[in-house]
Amino acid sequence: MDVTSQHPAPVQARKSAVDRSHRRAHGTDWIERTAEIVVVCALAGELVAMFGNVIARSFFNTSLVWSLEVGELALVVMTFIGGAIAYPRNEHMALHAVVQRLPGRWHPAVEAFATCQVFAMALAGCVLAWQMMLSRWDERTPYLELRAIWFALPMIAGMALLAWFALKRLGLLPRRAVVTGAIATAIPLAILLGLAHVLGADARAYALPAAFAVFAVQLVLGVPIGFALLMVTLLYLSTANMVPLSVVPINLQAGISSFVMLSIPFFILAGYVMTEGGLSRRMTEFVTTLVGRFRGGMLQVIVVCMYIMSGISGSKVADVAAVGTTMKDVMRKERYDAGETAAVLASCAIMGETVPPSIAMLVLASVTSLSIGTLFVAGLLPAAVIAACLMVLIYLRSRDRAGTTHAATMREIWRSGVVAIPALVAPVILIGGIVSGIATPTEVSSTAVVYALLLAIVVYRALSPKALWHTLVNTAAQAGMVLFITSTASTFSWSLTLAKMPQQIAALFARMNGSSTAFMLATLVTLIVMGALLEGLPALLIFGPLLLPLTSAFGIDPLQYGIVMIIAMGFGAFSPPIGVGMFVTCSICETTMENAAKHMAPYLAVLIVGLLLVAFVPWFSLVVPKVLGML
C-alpha cells in the first residue's frame, strides 16, 4: 500500500499511465490536503483520548468516560474520510490480474467502468447518509452530549469526497472511454432495478444470484473491493425489497462500532513509526548478527525479522514493506535472486498472520465471539511452527550458500543487541499488556505508539517533523482503507444474513454427515480462494460470522478454527498469481510475479503442510491458552 515511496501499493507495479497522471494531478489538490488534515487530527485526537485514559487509570485511579465517544467519532472520521483519501492514492484493494491481461486499448474503458461504479456508489451512499443524519437529528451521546449528526457528517463528507475524486479521475480518461463506462454502469443497473419493480415480491428469488453476478463482474473488471461490496449490498436490498435502504448507513457505522476496532489505527501507526524512525532497521541488524552466519543466512534473517515485526505493526503489508525495504539492498549485495527474496518474504507474511497483534485477529474478534487476548496467545505457536518449517527448507535449499561473508563477533552481537533492546520492548508492551489483561488492546496499542514515537524522535532522532507528518497521513489513509472495507464487508455480511445465507450454508455442510475433516478441508479451499480474490480481510469478514457458528456441530474448537481461517486467508492473499499481497512483495523486491512464483513453489508446499498441521492437530492452537489458564 502506497504509504510512502517505500511502501508501494499492491497495484503500483501494474498501474497505468493514467494512474500516474492522476496522482500528479492530485499533488496540488487542496481538497485532498484538507481532508488529510482532518483525518490526521482525528487520529491524533483518538491517540490523546485513549492514551489519556491510560494515564488517568494508571496514576489517578479513574477513567475518562468521555474518551470512548471521542474515539468512536475519530474512528468514523478515519473510516469514511480516511477511506476517501485512500482512493486517489490507489490504496484500496482491487483484483487486477484479469484486467492486466486484457488488450491495452480496453484499459481506459475498463478503468472508466470501475470509476463510474465508485461514483454511483458514493452518490447513493451520500444521499442515504444525509437521510440518516436527518432522522437522528435530536439524538445525543450520553457523556459529551454530542449530537448524533456529528457521527453522520463524516460519512456524508467521505462519500462526497469519493464522488469528487471519481469525477476527477474520469476527467483524466478519454471521453469515449468515460461514455462507455457510464453506459456499462447505468444500463445493467436500470434493467435490474426495473425488473425488480415489475416483478415485485417475485424478484426476491432472483435478487441474491443477480447481486453475486454483479459482484463477480465488478471484481473481474477491477472495481475496488470495498466499493463493490457496498454497491452489491445496495443492489440486493433494492431488488429484494426486504428492508428500507436507510438501514445501510446505520449498519456501516455498526460495522466499526466494536471497541477493538479503535486499536487498528494505532497498530498500523506503531509499525510505521518503527519503520520510519529506524527501530525496524536496528532490530534487523541485531537479527542479522545472530542468524546471518547460518546456511541461507539472509533468508533466515527475513524469517526471524518477519516474526518479530508481525508482532508490532499488526499489518502484514507494513511488515513486508518494513523488512523488505530494509533487506533489499543487503540481499542484492549478497547476490540473492530477487524472486527468491520475494518468495520468502511472501511466505513469511502468510506465517505472520497469526503473530499478535494481527489486524486479521482484531477484525475476526470484532465480528465474532472470540476473545482477542485468547486469539493472540493461540496464534503464537502455529506461526512459530510454520516459521521453523520455512527455516529448515531454506537451510536445505541453500547448500551452496554458507551465510553472510562476515560472521559477527560476540562484541558485535552485544553492541547491536543493546541498541535494539528499546525497539524489542515494543512487542513486549503490545503482547504482554493484552494477554495479561492489564489493559485493553486499544489502550496497549496507544501506549506502544507513544513509546515508539519517543524512541524515534527523542532517543534515535530519526523522525523529522516532515517525516512524522507523512507517517500520520499514510497511517490515516491505510487505516481508513482497512476500516472502510471492514464497514462495507460487515454490511454485506448482514445482508447475507437477511437472505438466510447462514442457514443455506449450514444445510450444505449438513450433507457432510458431521465429518469434521470434510468441513475443515472445505473451509481451507474456500478461504484460500476467497482470500486471493478478496484480499483476505473481506473474505474473513464475510465468512467468519457465517462459518464459525457451525464449528460446534462438527466438534471443532472455535478458537482453533479461527486460527485456521486466518492462516488460510493469508495463504490466498499472498499466493501467486492473483494474491494482492504477492504484488506488494514483488513491487518491494523489484521483481516480476513470474520470477517470484517460480521460486515460491517449494515454500508453498511447506506452508500447505504447516496449514494442514494446524487444521488437524488442535494442540498447536490450544496448548498455550490452556497452559496460561485462558481456556
Grid cell digits, residue 63 = 477513567
Chain mean position to CA 57 = 31
Altogether, the residues listed in the chain come to a count of 631
19 falls in which pLDDT band (50, 70, 90)?
Answer: very low
- Please work out, in degrees rounded to the nearest 5, the angle formed at the alpha carbon of residue 587 by the alpha carbons of 584 and 590: 150
Give the pLDDT score at 42: 94
User: How is residue 432 annotated by DSSP?
Assistant: I
25 falls in which pLDDT band (50, 70, 90)?
Answer: very low
Do both 321 and 246 map to the same domain?
Answer: no
Is 436 inside any structural domain?
no
Give the pLDDT score at 62: 85
Do both 286 and 409 map to the same domain?
Answer: yes
Give the pLDDT score at 464: 87
Please name which of 228, 233, 131, 120 lies closest in space to residue 183, comparing C-alpha atoms: 120
Is 476 inside any structural domain?
no
- The pLDDT of 111-126, averaged and rounded, is 93
Give the pLDDT score at 241: 82
CA distances from 155 to 87, 304, 476 (A): 15, 41, 16
Do both 188 and 295 map to the same domain?
Answer: no
- The pLDDT of 199-206, averaged and rounded, is 78
576 falls in which pLDDT band (50, 70, 90)?
Answer: confident
Q: What is the 3 state secondary structure string of 253-306?
A: HHCCCCHHHHHHHHHHHHHHHHHHCCHHHHHHHHHHHHHCCCCCHHHHHHHHHH
Grid cell digits, residue 411 = 562484541
Is 108 inside any structural domain?
yes
Residue 297 has pLDDT above 70, yes or no: yes
Do both 247 and 284 map to the same domain?
Answer: no
Residue 161 has pLDDT above 80, yes or no: yes
1 falls in which pLDDT band (50, 70, 90)?
Answer: very low
The proportion of the chain whose per-residue pLDDT surpasses 90, expressed as a percent, equals: 25
Give the pLDDT score at 314: 66
**Cβ-contact 302, 323 below 8 angstroms:** yes
Give the pLDDT score at 26: 44
Enumerate the H helices of 61-174 as residue ranges.
67-77, 83-85, 107-135, 149-171
Q: What is the pTM of this model?
A: 0.84
Q: What is the 3 state secondary structure string of 226-243?
A: HHHHHHHHHHHHHHHCCC
- The pLDDT of 337-350, averaged and rounded, is 88
- Residue range 494-503, pLDDT digits in tens: 888 888 887 7
- Residue range 216-262, pLDDT digits in tens: 899 888 898 889 989 999 999 988 888 888 889 999 988 888 777 88
Is 229 inside any structural domain?
yes
Do both 244 and 363 map to the same domain?
Answer: no
Do both 236 and 289 map to the same domain?
Answer: no
- The pLDDT of 374-387, averaged and rounded, is 91
Is 494 inside any structural domain?
no
Do both 230 and 314 map to the same domain?
Answer: no
Residue 15 has pLDDT above 50, yes or no: no
**Cβ-contact 75, 253 below 8 angstroms:** no
| Cis peptide leading into residue 357 (ω within 30°) | yes
Domain containing 340 equals 277-420+499-631
Do both 537 and 592 map to the same domain?
Answer: yes
Residue 53 has pLDDT above 90, yes or no: no
Do both 113 and 211 map to the same domain?
Answer: yes
Is 575 inside any structural domain?
yes
Is 183 inside any structural domain?
yes
Give the pLDDT score at 400: 61
The Cα–Cα gap between 82 and 471 comes to 14
- The pLDDT of 318-329, averaged and rounded, is 76
In the predicted model, what is the mean pLDDT of the chain? Answer: 83
Residue 212 has pLDDT above 90, yes or no: no
Do both 233 and 365 map to the same domain?
Answer: no
- Please work out, in degrees rounded to the nearest 5, the angle formed at the alpha carbon of residue 249 by the alpha carbons of 182 and 32: 60
Comparison of pLDDT for 312 and 484, the residue scoring more: 484
**Cβ-contact 291, 304 below 8 angstroms:** yes
Amino acid at 76: V
Count: domains in the chain: 2
7 falls in which pLDDT band (50, 70, 90)?
Answer: very low
Do both 52 and 142 map to the same domain?
Answer: yes
Do both 192 and 303 map to the same domain?
Answer: no
- Residue range 416-443, pLDDT digits in tens: 888 888 878 877 777 777 777 677 778 8
Give the pLDDT score at 13: 35
Final residue in a domain of this structure, among 221, 254, 287: 254
Is 477 inside any structural domain?
no
Give the pLDDT score at 162: 95
Specify the DSSP element, H or E, that contains 531: helix 516-534
Low-confidence winner among 115-119, 270-274, 336-340, 579-583 (lowest mean pLDDT): 579-583
Give the pLDDT score at 182: 93
512 falls in which pLDDT band (50, 70, 90)?
Answer: confident
Q: For the chain, first and last CA: distance in Å?
A: 37
Give the pLDDT score at 433: 75
535 falls in which pLDDT band (50, 70, 90)?
Answer: low
